[in-house]
Structure formats: structure tokens, C-alpha cells
């Protein structure tokens, strides 16, 4: 699951700056002083809009920049609300591990609240006992259904082979193409196999519908984020549409999933094999929670892994020397005949290091998912009042020159020790840490490894002639590359 941070904001800033200058006095008088004393200081902002207009399209960059001036913990204003930003490994570790009891909640955010039907499911649920039980049940059932086991590897392989065929077709055409759609279909089918118990043929109309729905959800999520800060904007002409697009897509996804649940329920008596859905139903006994958890797994599991693969292909094409090192290692340890497997991983340290480096250099959830304080809590001498939104700046950890010299440089050897073995420094946290740590980590890491090793075994990726694509990324539901085209060349 990815960032969902409410900064999808741009054009409204001028109008709001005007309104804000009029209301500045009132805001300071009524909302400011008493509360601010308890919080850390931060960059000055405008009344009413706070710091929003300074954050720009890629807020993680500005938030990381402010760390230099304001330290590891500072406060910003998102509209009328305070948010505490936590930067750097030590402070994040302290917040998410030592103060986990108080800082594992989620804030109220209009779009996410509606999307999760009032905080149901896992990703946007408050840190309650019910949430803990749901998460525990889901993780244990995911394990039972193959997460981290050979069954999962088999399912992923099926999709990798399909993807390989599709890439071979593209290679034969000789045309550069945007790999997003093909990658997205394969990753979505992995989730379908694991959770629905069946994969789809790519020409199945039902699968087309699901893919289109997922694409529409991702596209609608970005622009809707401003409604998390100013929910009342939905009443303005045109703005309401932004939110309702997301809610309509989510509802259609839930309808699709409810259909699967009904179908699987009807098969219960005829079939001894219990499905993922049936196990979840038995553990939770609440229909709507089952659908919501499945929605979380679909939305959280598909887009994140696809985006990581898109970054990986882009960085490999930009760094042919890294690609060549990976292929040499693969040729030596696996060869070209048999498919790579998870058991090869210990003998492919450079390859693993390159994948880790992609996840570091372009952290797809740079601000994680917003946390919140469930009670007043003291952190490093500051008081964070209950209900305050807490932004965990993972980007600041992965771009910290104290841990990663010249952090913008793409260099897989950062993850190798002198003996050439993989080391994973504790300052590497693309899946976050603590009670909310991504429950899909194992699945995502296995997918990244099997997809990339199999593809590199058979193909070399190159960029078409012309200016190389930007690596800055665009922030939507996650930090994704600007759409780019790539050429696939079959290996000799
Ligand atoms: C490369 C891929 C992925 C990355 C980088 C990633 C990253 C993250 C991050 C940073 C969080 C927020 C943790 C926090 O709030 O502190 C998260 C939460 C979550 N992720 Fe992932 N994720 C990935 C793939 C997946 C997959 C494959 C699934 C499911 C199959 C998944 C399901 C979830 C769920 C359900 C949550 C919410 C957890 C909670 O609130 O308790 N993610 N993920």
C-alpha cells in the first residue's frame, strides 16, 4: 500500500492565499496558540492553508529539505490542522517502535474515511483491538495461503511466464513501448491467484473490467487528496466529482469482490478445499470487513509492486552496467535454461542488492501512510496531542547522506559487504516499521525478485534514442515514474 498523503494540490493555492490573508487574525486567535505550545516548531505558513502551498507536487522533497532547518521533528500546518513530520532513522524508529502504542493510529481524512467505509479493513482503520484482530487474522491466512512459501512462487511464476511471452511479442515488433500495462496485469493476476484462488486469461472481459477499475482508481486517487485537507471543497462545482470518481471505483471493486465472495460461499458445500475468502469469513464473521480487507489487498498490493517494477526497468535501462552485472551473475548461477527460483537468491547477491537499491533510491511510499497519535504522547521532548496527524518521512531516511553517501547515485554495491554478501542496513525501510509495517512485504519482495530475474535472463532493456526520461517521479497514490517507453531486446 502506498502514500495517500493529502498534497494533490496546486491550482487552488492563489485563491486560498487571498482568503487566508483575510482570516489570519481569526485563525491565530481561535485555533493557534494554546495548542501550538505543545507541538514542535516548524516552517511558517499562511493562515487557513498553512504550509500546503510550499509543498508542491512532490511534498517529500520539501519536507526533507525542511529537516535541515527544523530538525528531525517539526510541525507543519495542513490547512487548519497541525501535522508532525518525523524525519531520519533514529526519530522514526523511536516513534514507530518505542512509542508504537501511541503512534500507530490513522488520522481522520475524508477521502480515506469514505473509501474505507468509515475505517473498515486494515490500511485506514484506527488502531483498535478490532483492527489488531483483523490484521492478525489476515496475516495468518495469507501465510496459510502461500505467502512466503513455494505455492506463492508457483503462482508468481505463472504470471512471469505470461509476461515473458508478452515482452517477447513487443521485442519482435521492435517498437519502444510503455511497460506499465503489461506489468500491471501480471501483478494483479498474482493477487487474484492468491486471494481469489484463480488467475484470469488476459482476454477475459472480467479481467479487463478489473484492470480498468484499478487504473481508474489510481488515476482518481491523486487529484482527490486535496479533499482530505478541505473536505468542504467537495461542495464546489467540479470538485465533488473528484471524490466521487474514487468512491465510485472503490464501490465497483467491492461489488466485484462481493460477487466472488458469494460465488465461493455457494461452493462451500461442494468442495473440501477452503478458499482464502472462506477462511477470512470464518475468522472475521463480518461480510463487510472481508470485502474491505480484500479491497485493501487489491489496491495496496497491485499498484505498489507494479510501480516498483516500473522504477526497476527504468533504472536498469539508465544503468546498462548494472544490468550487465546482474545478467552475468544470473548466467553463471542459474544459466539460461531453467527458471530462476527463490532458492537461487543467496547465490545472486549483486542482483538482490540492485533490487534493494531501486527500492531505496526511489522510495515509492516516501511518506508512508499517515499515522496519528491515539493519545497525548511525548517524543524527544515534544508533546504530540492525541489526534495529531503524524507524517513518517521514509524519504528522509533513504536520502540521508549520513547513511547513504551521495544518496541520489544509483549504486547497488551499497548493499554488499567486502565479501560480496548482501547487507541490509537498518536504515532501509521501504515497507516502514512497527505495528503498521506493510503486511505484503514478503509477497512484494518475492515478486520483485522473480519478475526481474526472469526478465533479465531473457531480455535486455534499453531506452529509445532521445533525452532520457526524468527520474524525479510524480506523486499520486505512490511515487511513480513519469510514463516512459522502453525497448526490449532478446538476449543472444
Ligand atoms: C513494493 C511493494 C510495497 C511497498 C513498498 C509497500 C509499502 C507499504 C508501506 C510504507 C505501508 C505503510 C506502513 C505504515 O503505515 O507505517 C504499507 C501498508 C500496507 N501494505 Fe504495503 N507495500 C508494498 C506492497 C504491498 C502488497 C503486495 C500488499 C498486499 C498483498 C500490501 C498491503 C499493505 C496493507 C494492507 C497495508 C496497511 C497495513 C496497516 O495499516 O496495518 N502492500 N505498505
pLDDT digits 0-9 by tens, 290-322: 889 999 998 889 999 999 999 999 999 999 999
- What is the position in ligand 1's atom list of the atom closest to the CA of 370? 15
- What is the position in ligand 1's atom list of the atom closest to the CA of 448? 1
User: Would you report the helix, strand and coil content of the chain in percent, each value rounded to 5?
Assistant: 55, 10, 35
Q: Is residue 4 part of a domain?
A: no
With 0.95 as the threshold, say if the pTM is over it.
Answer: no
Number of compact structural domains in the chain: 1
Q: Is residue 155 part of a domain?
A: yes
C-alpha cell at 302: 497491485
Quote the pLDDT of residue 197: 84
Q: Is the pLDDT of residue 21 over 80?
A: no
Ligand 1 center to residue 152 CA distance, Å?
18
Distance CA 204, CA 140 (A): 31
Q: Show the ligand 1 pocket: residues with CB < 6 angstroms.
A: 1, 122-123, 135, 296-297, 300-301, 304-305, 308, 364-365, 368-369, 430-432, 436-440, 443-444
Range of the domain at 271: 13-490
Distance CA 246, CA 234 (A): 13
Ligand 1 center to residue 139 CA distance, Å?
12
Q: Which long-range contacts (CB under 8 A, 24 or more apart) does 197-200 make?
A: 197/264, 197/275, 197/276, 197/277, 199/155, 199/158, 199/159
Ligand 1 center to residue 99 CA distance, Å?
20
Q: What is the pLDDT of residues 414-456, one digit of tens each?
A: 999 999 999 999 999 999 999 999 999 999 999 999 999 999 9
Of 69-73, 277-281, 385-389, 441-445, the one with minimum mean pLDDT is 277-281
Binding site annotation covers 185?
A: no
Distance CA 243, CA 257 (A): 21
Quote the pLDDT of residue 2: 52
Quote the pLDDT of residue 77: 95
> Residues 6 or more apart from 403 whose CB is under 8 A from it?
89, 397, 425, 427
Ligand 1 center to residue 432 CA distance, Å?
8
Burial 43-57 (b: 16+ CB within 10 A, else e): bebbbbbbbbbbbeb
Q: Is residue 248 part of a domain?
A: yes
Section 199-218 average pLDDT: 87
> Per-residue confidence at 273, pLDDT binned at 50, 70, 90?
low
Ligand 1 center to residue 300 CA distance, Å?
6
- What is the position in ligand 1's atom list of the atom closest to the CA of 293? 35
Q: Is residue 7 part of a domain?
A: no
Q: Is residue 227 part of a domain?
A: yes
Q: Which of 117-121, 266-270, 327-331 has the highest mean pLDDT?
A: 327-331
Q: Is residue 5 part of a domain?
A: no
* % residues pLDDT > 70 (the chain): 90
Q: Is residue 235 part of a domain?
A: yes
Across the chain, mean pLDDT equals 88
- What is the position in ligand 1's atom list of the atom closest to the CA of 371? 15
> Residues 6 or more apart from 463 whose CB is under 8 A from it?
176, 317, 318, 469, 484, 485, 486, 487
Distance CA 476, CA 246 (A): 13
- CATH number, residue 411: 1.10.630.10
How many distinct helices (H) and strands (E) make up the chain?
18, 10
The residue nearest atom 21 of ligand 1, judged by CA position, is 1
Q: Is the pLDDT of residue 54 over 60?
A: yes
Q: Is residue 428 part of a domain?
A: yes
Q: What is the pLDDT of residues 333-345, one digit of tens each?
A: 999 999 999 999 9
Amino acid at each position: 500500500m502506498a502514500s495517500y498523503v493529502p498534497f494533490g494540490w496546486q491550482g487552488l493555492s492563489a485563491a486560498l492565499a487571498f482568503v487566508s490573508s483575510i482570516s489570519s487574525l481569526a485563525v491565530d486567535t481561535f485555533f493557534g496558540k494554546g495548542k501550538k505550545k505543545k507541538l514542535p516548531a516548524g516552517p511558517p505558513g499562511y493562515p487557513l492553508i498553512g504550509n500546503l502551498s510550499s509543498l508542491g507536487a512532490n511534498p517529500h522533497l520539501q519536507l526533507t529539505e525542511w529537516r535541515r532547518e527544523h530538525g528531525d521533528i517539526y510541525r507543519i500546518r495542513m490547512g487548519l490542522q497541525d501535522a508532525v513530520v518525523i524525519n531520519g532513522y533514529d526519530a522514526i524508529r523511536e516513534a514507530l517502535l518505542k512509542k508504537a502504542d501511541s503512534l500507530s493510529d490513522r488520522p481522520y481524512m475524508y477521502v480515506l474515511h469514505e473509501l474505507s467505509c468509515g475505517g473498515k479493513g486494515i490500511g485506514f482503520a484506527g488502531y483498535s483491538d478490532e483492527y489488531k484482530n483483523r490484521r492478525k487474522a489476515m496475516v495468518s491466512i495469507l501465510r496459510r495461503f502461500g505467502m512466503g512459501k513455494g505455492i506463492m512462487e508457483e503462482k508468481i511464476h505463472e504470471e512471469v511466464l505470461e509476461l515473458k511471452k508478452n515482452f517477447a511479442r513487443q521485442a519482435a515488433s521492435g517498437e519502444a513501448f510503455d511497460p506499465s500495462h503489461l506489468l500491471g496485469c501480471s501483478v494483479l493476476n498474482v493477487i487474484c491467484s492468491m486471494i481469489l484462488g484463480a488467475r484470469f486469461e488476459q482476454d477475459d472481459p472480467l479481467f479487463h473490467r478489473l484492470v480498468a477499475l484499478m487504473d481508474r482508481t489510481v488515476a482518481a486517487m491523486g487529484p482527490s487528496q486535496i479533499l482530505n485537507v478541505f473536505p468542504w471543497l467537495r461542495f464546489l462545482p467540479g470538485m465533488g466529482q473528484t471524490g466521487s470518481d474514487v468512491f465510485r471505483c472503490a464501490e465497483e471493486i467491492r461489488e466485484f469482490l462481493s460477487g466472488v465472495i458469494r460465488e465461493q460461499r455457494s461452493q462451500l458445500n461442494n468442495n473440501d478445499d477452503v478458499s482464502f475468502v472462506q477462511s477470512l469469513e470464518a475468522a472475521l464473521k463480518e461480510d463487510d470487513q472481508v470485502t474491505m480487507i480484500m479491497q485493501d489487498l487489491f489496491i495496496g498490493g497491485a499498484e505498489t509492486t507494479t510501480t516498483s517494477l516500473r522504477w526497476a526497468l527504468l533504472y536498469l535501462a539508465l544503468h546498462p552496467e548494472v544490468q550487465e552485472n546482474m545478467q552475468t551473475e544470473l548466467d553463471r548461477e542459474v544459466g539460461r535454461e531453467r527458471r530462476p527460483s527463490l532458492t537461487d537468491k543467496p547465490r545472486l547477491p549483486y542482483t538482490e542488492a540492485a533490487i534493494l537499491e531501486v527500492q531505496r533510491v526511489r522510495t515509492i511510499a516516501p511518506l508512508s501512510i499517515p499515522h496519528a497519535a491515539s493519545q497525548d504522547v511525548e517524543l524527544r521532548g515534544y508533546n504530540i496531542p492525541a489526534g495529531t496527524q503524524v507524517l513518517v518521512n521514509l524519504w528522509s531516511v533513504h536520502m540521508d547522506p549520513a547513511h547513504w553517501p551521495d544518496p541520489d547515485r544509483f549504486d547497488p554495491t551499497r548493499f554488499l559487504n567486502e565479501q560480496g554478501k548482501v547487507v541490509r542496513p537498518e536504515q532501509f525501510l521501504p515497507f516502514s516499521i512497527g505495528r503498521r509495517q506493510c503486511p505484503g512485504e514478503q509477497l512484494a519482495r518475492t515478486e520483485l525478485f522473480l519478475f526481474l530475474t526472469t526478465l533479465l535472463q531473457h531480455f535486455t532493456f534499453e531506452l529509445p534514442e532521445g533525452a532520457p526520461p526524468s527520474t524525479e517521479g510524480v506523486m499520486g497514490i505512490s511515487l511513480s515514474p513519469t510514463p516512459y517507453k522502453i525497448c526490449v531486446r532478446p538476449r543472444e
